[in-house]
Amino acid sequence: MKLYMSSQKLGNEIDVLKKWINEHNNKILLIFNALDAKSKEKIEFNIKEDTKLLQEIGFEVKLVDLKDYFEDNKKLNNDFIKYNACCVMGGNVFVLRQAMRYSGFDEFLYQKFSDNNFLYIGYSAGSCVLCENLKIFDIVDEPIKFYEKNEIIYNGINFINYIFIPHYESNYHKVNLIQEVVEKCKIENKKFRAVRDGEVIIQ
């Protein structure tokens, strides 16, 4: 799996994404569930904005609501198997992790992890969720129990061996809380990457 991890939106490495399209195809899944706890207006605005950004690069976007698969994880695998790229939007990392678990999207990603022809684009929470443990993000995001499942999931997807900290020293309304995450990582000797808006980590 190719990981394209951005702090905010698609970042400054879009040539990498254009090259991906040229070498593979332009179909991509757009997953917005990190925003599920936000207002309807906020969700619709961000979906429209991100769809436009992906289309401008050359992607053909399929919008996905993971809630549609909560009761039938097998259906997700059948619907997603023909795609070799996804973009996971930002929002609340704990809400996103729950949606991944309940829909079976995390299991789908585990199956794809060894596939070098699968692209995972994530920004903000969409990148943070790839860490091993999400507990430190409760400084920034409220670890709410969403979807009436009464469960907070602190185990991340565990695709990266460091804490991805977005919006570092950026024009972000919670930038002071981001700095607290950085300082806590330093105090607890945790491996981390602090990423500014516009920056992208690719691996």
Helices (H) and strands (E) in the chain, counts: 7, 8
Percent of the chain with pLDDT over 90: 93
CATH number at 155 reads 3.40.50.880
Q: Which domain holds residue 54?
A: 2-202
What is the pLDDT, as a whole number, of residue 94? 97
What is the amino acid identity at position 14? Answer: I
What is the amino acid identity at position 120? Answer: Y
pLDDT above 80: residue 150: no
Beta strand 200-202 with 60-64 is unpaired
pLDDT tier for residue 148 given thresholds of 50, 70 and 90: confident
pLDDT above 90: residue 128: yes
Q: Evaluate whether 8 touches 124 at the Cβ level (below 8 Å).
A: yes
Strand pairing partners for 120?
A: 3, 86
Q: How many domains does the chain have?
A: 1
Query: What are φ and ψ of residue 124, in 5° steps?
Result: 55, -120
What is the pLDDT, as a whole number, of residue 130? 98
pLDDT in tens, 48-68: 999 999 999 999 999 999 999
Percent of the chain with pLDDT over 70: 100
Beta strand 2-6 with 119-123 is parallel
Query: What are φ and ψ of residue 26, in 5° steps?
Result: -105, 10
